Amino acid sequence: MSQPDNLLTAWRNGLIDCDMRLSQARLAQCHGVRVPTYERQQITPGILHLGVGAFHRAHQAVYADDLLAGGDMRWGIVGVSLRSDRAQRQLQPQDHLYTVATKSTEQTDYRVIGSVLEVLVLAQQRAQLMAYFADPRIQVVTLTITEKGYCLGSDGGINWSHPDVQHDLAHPESARGAPGLLVAGLRARRAAGAGPLTVISCDNLQANGQATQRVVAEMFAAVDPEGLRWMQDHVSFPGTMVDRIVPATRAGDLTRLADRQGYEDAGLVTAEPFTQWVIESDFAGIQPDWQSVGAQWVDTVAPYESAKLRLLNASHSALAYWGLHRGYTFIHQAVADPELLARTINFMADEVIPNLALPTEFDVSAYQAAIVDRFRNNAVPYPARQVAADGSLKLAQRVFPTLQNNQETGRASPWALDVVAAWLAALLDPLIEFDDPARDQLPVDLNPEMSSADLVNRLVHSTTLCGPVAKNTSSMQALITRLGAYRGL
């Protein structure tokens, strides 16, 4: 392996220079770094977190660190790794301290986070985990386990054929899937009389609170119907919307930290400056004062989810396809193109924003400006092909709703249609490579010489790839014209 590969492998396994490694004792020697100034020994655990990955460390754990810095010492985090012991190997030898490197175009700021008190590994420390579920000091359980961790079926309920679900139904005392594990933990809490609990999904899953509640309730009903009734009275599942780009840590990030700040960190994570956490104020017990450190309390997160999908994510996809056709590799290169920037701004302002039902406190102009600033950040490079991947799935959530709304109201959607055309053209272009399951849905009789009109009509009549465009004659004609422009036909 090359030296950078060796460095990254050692970092991932927590095997770094012990003499230079971050620790509580070394904090006083860290220069140019913001470090915890509170007494960590006074922290009590208040949050149990499932899934101690990079996003959690750069997002929820930072909000908790801000609470501790403000003097509320009730919100220390006990992290739980459901599969791997990597996070424990990385953090335990350095007193569970780690650094967040916040990267902007101008500079990188370093901050040591002290809110994580312990990291448990499910396979090795199940008894300790159940003891924390039964601890009345724990008021909140948060999750970052990715969408697949919820064992969801196609109907939005639990997938009863999922291997983890099958295992947990047969062996609830040794549950390994998130729904079964939450049921086991809540049963332990009920048995201990430890009081109410709030369970918060922090994954990018629409209506994540409702989805979590449903799979847990269905698992509860299968293994402990009486416990389900207790859950309904004592546990809440508020929805949330989270946002922050947290790219993979690279070898250069590790060496820069050591060279400039004078220590090594096996838990280093990198992030963009922007961070957002919107939370429904539906708590069963004590509610952390996250609003005082930048989070937003709302009655429902639905409008914020829509804004993120249809403004931020849709513009991301648009720049990816437009950029690929112009030969750009990264999103920040595409948004630096004046014409593509103008397209993006017009798409948001003229086609998306008029369809959004936003709360009065939502500053949509500031949000739109923040989106452009984030895309410009070349210190957090986003590959256009990565953003372009799975367009057949992404556009159905990000762009098609805007098209549908505009078609119903008679409003024009030139840029939304252009995004669809750019995606289809990229999908059909053998020189533009990105992963998309739609390739398997394309009719076998398509050929490069086929006219754009024949191509679109063939797609409309044999697939669902064109979405709501198929229902509108003027949209169909505009799509044909724009697709032809990308194909040069």
The string of pLDDT tens digits covering residues 28-46 is: 888 889 999 999 999 999 9
- pLDDT of res. 183: 98
Residue with token string 């230079």: 20
Per-residue pLDDT tens over the stretch 185-197 = 999 999 999 999 9
- Which strand ranges, in their side-by-side order, compose the sheet holding 240-243? 240-243, 276-280, 296-298
User: What is the structure's pLDDT at 2?
Assistant: 47
What are the φ and ψ backbone dihedral angles of 115, each rounded to 5 degrees? -80, -15
pLDDT tens digits for range 431-461: 999 999 998 888 888 888 899 999 999 999 8
Average pLDDT, the chain: 95
Q: What is the CA radius of gyration of the chain?
A: 24
Q: How far apart are the first and last CA of the chain?
A: 47
pTM surpassing 0.75?
A: yes
The pLDDT, as a whole number, for residue 284 is 98
Backbone angles phi, psi at 242, to 5 degrees: -120, 150
Secondary structure (3-state) at 67: helix
pLDDT at 20: 86
Report DSSP state, residue 308.
Answer: I
Give helix 3-12 / helix 251-261 axis angle, nearest 10°.
80
* Nearest CA among 409, 410, 408, 443 for reference residue 424: 443
Token readout for 435 is: 């992963």
CA distance 356 to 258: 46
Q: Pick the closest to residue 45 from 123, 144, 138, 152 (CA basis).
A: 138
Confidence of residue 1 (pLDDT cuts 50, 70, 90): very low
Sorted by where each starts, the structural domains of the chain and their CATH numbers stand as 3-299 (3.40.50.720), 303-487 (1.10.1040.10)
3-state SS string over 7-22? HHHHHHCCCCCHHHEC
Q: Is the dihedral of CA 119, 122, 123, 129 positive or negative?
A: positive
Bridge partners for 142 per DSSP: 49, 200
Q: d(Cα 367, Cα 332) in Å, to the nearest integer?
A: 18
User: Is the confidence at residue 3, as pLDDT, over 70?
Assistant: no
Name the strand (E) or helix (H) holding 201.
strand 197-201
At 316 the pLDDT is 98
- H/E element holding 297? strand 296-298
Average confidence (pLDDT) over 100-111: 97
Query: Residue for token digits 């990000």?
Result: 398
